[in-house]
Amino acid sequence: MKVGVPREVKSDEYRVAMMPVGAELLVKSGHEVFIESQAGVGSGFSDEDYVKAGAKVLSTHKAVFDAAEMIIKVKEPQPQEIGLFRPGQVLFTYFHFAADPTLTQSCLQSGITAIAYETIRDRAGRLPCLTPMSEIAGKMSIQEGAKYLEKPMMGRGILLGGVPGVAPAHVVVLGAGVVGTQAAKVAAGLGANVVLMDINLERLRYLDDVMPANVTTIFSDIHTIRENLILADLVIGAVLIPGAKAPRLVTRQHLTAMKNGSVIVDVAIDQGGCVETSRPTTHQQPTYVVEGVVHYCVTNMPGAVGRTSTIALCNATLPYALKIANHGFEKVAA
């Protein structure tokens, strides 16, 4: 199979969908790999690294799409890429269709076969290609949230972990899946008081056993959400319904009761966001303020740590790419 890896064109996206080792494994399996020039630079991989691995470097985005039977990307196709599709081509990437009806319709009309990282399940029902980026986004949500709590960033001027004699910040995490668990662990490690909320009691029981003493688990409902938002300095939106739009848990009315200068990091923005007032932002302009609350809604948070994210993502996606290339998507999906 002819496999193409284009350079990511989304703003401030430094990941690449394949490392040189992946290209080498595909080539050794009898496939051709075409990579766009400079595609790996943001993750620390040069064109020469890919050439040594047996890949062919092409100079333009269009050349990669034209050459390949299967395109492997990181982020959802951007508007300028839609016209490069051709019927029968396989596109293996994150899509987040639930948050983007226009993209969904474009892909349906194009005749491509779309395989979404975020909806692949293993035999245990887990999401192996989504999990590594969720882990990174969860950890980053606390890093970014702590930064935007600083006064120059329009925050309350609060240190997440406090100091002797001064109380730490109050962090509320909505959703106790992969993102929420990682966020809670990092926030707790920095010394914050953390409330971790979810509707899955079994999950809460497990986390109550393994989390540090400064993490409290609370069942999530409309009353407990409202009560905890009033106390929050930092809120992490970490809810996920795989393949579906994120539920709206935080309304504009809730914001009016929150502390002025508090921060919301809506990690669920890829799936439409779990906050009524959330809208997609970029690493260049990551925040805006509504009702005195700072909103951070960057849609590609892991893209900022391209080296870590690329390695973590490719570790998860390469086995699937190899299976599709070796056997065809029909057999792999069966």
Catalytic residues: 96, 270
Q: 293, 261, 291, 265: which is closest to 158 by C-alpha?
A: 261
Sign of the torsion formed by the C-alpha atoms of 45, 49, 54 and 58: positive
Tell me how far apart the terminal alpha carbons of the chain are, to the nearest angstrom: 19
Q: What span, in angstroms and rounded, lies between the C-alpha atoms of 117 and 119?
A: 6
Q: What span, in angstroms and rounded, lies between the C-alpha atoms of 170 and 195?
A: 8
Find out whether 211 and 185 touch, Cβ atoms under 8 Å: yes
Q: What span, in angstroms and rounded, lies between the C-alpha atoms of 41 and 46?
A: 6
Sign of the torsion formed by the C-alpha atoms of 308, 143, 117 and 283: negative
- 245 by Cβ neighbours in 10 Å (0-12 / 13-18 / 19+) ranks as middle
β-partners of residue 47 are none
DSSP string, 198-222: ES-HHHHHHHHHHS-TTEEEEE--H
Write out the two tokens for 287. 């925040």
Find the farthest-apart pair of alpha carbons in the chain and give their distance in angstroms, rounded.
65
Q: What span, in angstroms and rounded, lies between the C-alpha atoms of 31 and 40?
A: 20
Supply the DSSP symbol for 287: E
Find out whether 321 and 18 touch, Cβ atoms under 8 Å: yes
